[in-house]
Structure 1
């Protein structure tokens, strides 16, 4: 559903730009097509008053420029047209796995870059598309559980869970429903997740947007997670004030001069995932060695 809605949006934007260009000149048509960049700029400017300490104008400018590119790639190409361009990967002999969980109004195409890189490394990786697009975040728990179970069955170990934006709350909702069925808690990495809600959710549509509002009863009742790296940026035009992306008790990581979508492209987040995979691989190897030693040999 997300991909279909975004394809419609892309075609509407193009149609409006062509109409304006044909009537008033192609320069105006191109300007119409780029209006989203101006709207994004407003989101970054308001951070000068929302976040304390306020990010500098130079940081905001760099974040805005990167976000124009990142959002255009995501919402005009990868998500509407390339949702399934990179398939899930379950290679033989994989000792570690990753579950990638997208955010609000997105789909698995958001992770195409990471999917390609993880496939090249021989890592088992699953990336679901969460539906319904504007339903309750609780509705995504079973789809996440299915992905976790696929990776558990294939690798024998709990996967590393990496989530962008609303996906971090979806993981917490999943753990509330299915956590009792797992022997080990997961290693979790969240990128710009509104763990404490966000002001911008008031502008969103659907039950999931209402759940992400600051002070919502649903958010207050949501449990935490024990082993979390929470990435945040003072230039986040979607999740703000900036500190709302930090889950209490987590390991916070600040990334400067990137916007909300840009966190997925950050080198810091990728390095954290690599470290988590190495730790997961070591634990799996130790568990396998312990199992081998405890198994009596025939003489």
Structure 2
């Protein structure tokens, strides 16, 4: 479904660019290359405004502490540019055209990996992480979580089915889960229902473990379950997240590694990604969508996958 939606939105954007081009021609812009560039730039600026809006919406509730590094203006520009480019390539190439099911390497010495995407995405989001895993010869499967706007509880059986399939087909007793954003909550819901018997490690990237204020602007049951209610200092997690946390034993938290950004533009407050009892690795200057596309994050994830198999 997400692939169809992404392709439709992409075609719509090209259609808008074509209409703008015709308008420029009607206004006697006779330089064809210039008219094409201006038409595409108009769409690009609109897309940039969407990315900018995510920063504006989360800025008032950002995590503020002595441990939160401040970015210089060049750092802010790199943060925005990186997130903008990540959203453009994911929505225009990855999710519409790069969905995949599995990539197997018989010569691997690492545990197999299950990739779980976040809200409003599909397995195509992992296209660039998959390339890094391919270079490392790590077998990896991906799951598409639907219905798109359903409950996170409903994703746990999908994750369980994918885990059992990967265990059976790989011949390994344990696997590693790598999950982005809401996918990390789906992984925790799976652990709640099925335990850690087949899981060596869960690596979450930008997961709102305690909720996010921007979920209040989204649609779907899953958005309601990811809500952060109130400001950063005195807010609370949604009822669903509180119930999830209440079910977790220390042994469950111990298999989770949360990698998150101090400057995430979707998870707000950003400290929501810090999960007590888990291993937490905060980083700086990377946006939400860009996390799985960043070479440094990819290298860290691969190193953790190797460690999990030792």
Scaled to the shorter chain, the TM-score interval is: 0.7 to 0.9
Q: How far did residue 193 of structure 1 move?
A: 0.5
Q: How far did residue 185 of structure 1 move?
A: 4.7
Task: Check if 1:38 corresponds to 2:49.
Answer: yes
Q: How far did residue 24 of structure 1 move?
A: 3.8
1:235 alignment counterpart:
263
SS in 2 for 1:254: strand
SS in 2 for 1:134: coil
Q: Determine which of 211, 215, 238 is the counterpart of 1:216.
A: 238
Q: How far did residue 161 of structure 1 move?
A: 0.8
Q: How far did residue 22 of structure 1 move?
A: 1.3
Matches within 5 A, 1:90-239: 90-92=104-106, 94-95=108-109, 96-153=111-168, 154-179=170-195, 183=197, 185-214=199-228, 215-223=237-245, 224=248, 225-239=253-267
Q: Which runs of 5 or more residues in structure 1 are unaligned?
A: 283-299
CA-to-partner distance for each residue in 1:239-292, whole Å, 9 max, x for gaps? 11110111122222122111001111234432332233323332xxxxxxxxxx
> Aligned pair in 2 of structure 1 residues 162, 248: CA closer, same or farther (>3 Å)?
same
* Cα distance in 2, alignment partners of residues 48 and 238 from structure 1: 10
* Cα distance in 2, alignment partners of residues 268 and 250 from structure 1: 21
Q: How far did residue 222 of structure 1 move?
A: 1.0
8 A contact 2:177–2:199 mirrored in 1: no
Q: Which runs of 5 or more residues in structure 2 are unaligned?
A: 26-34, 229-236
Query: RMSD of the TM alignment (CA)?
Result: 2.1
1:290 alignment counterpart:
none
Query: TM-score with structure 1 length normalisation?
Result: 0.85
Q: How far did residue 200 of structure 1 move?
A: 0.4
Q: Determine which of 300, 305, 310 is the counterpart of 1:272.
A: 300
8 A contact 2:211–2:267 mirrored in 1: yes
SS in 2 for 1:209: helix
> Aligned pair in 2 of structure 1 residues 46, 218: CA closer, same or farther (>3 Å)?
closer
> Aligned pair in 2 of structure 1 residues 134, 254: CA closer, same or farther (>3 Å)?
same
8 A contact 1:255–1:268 mirrored in 2: no
Query: TM-score with structure 2 length normalisation?
Result: 0.82
> Aligned pair in 2 of structure 1 residues 48, 104: CA closer, same or farther (>3 Å)?
closer
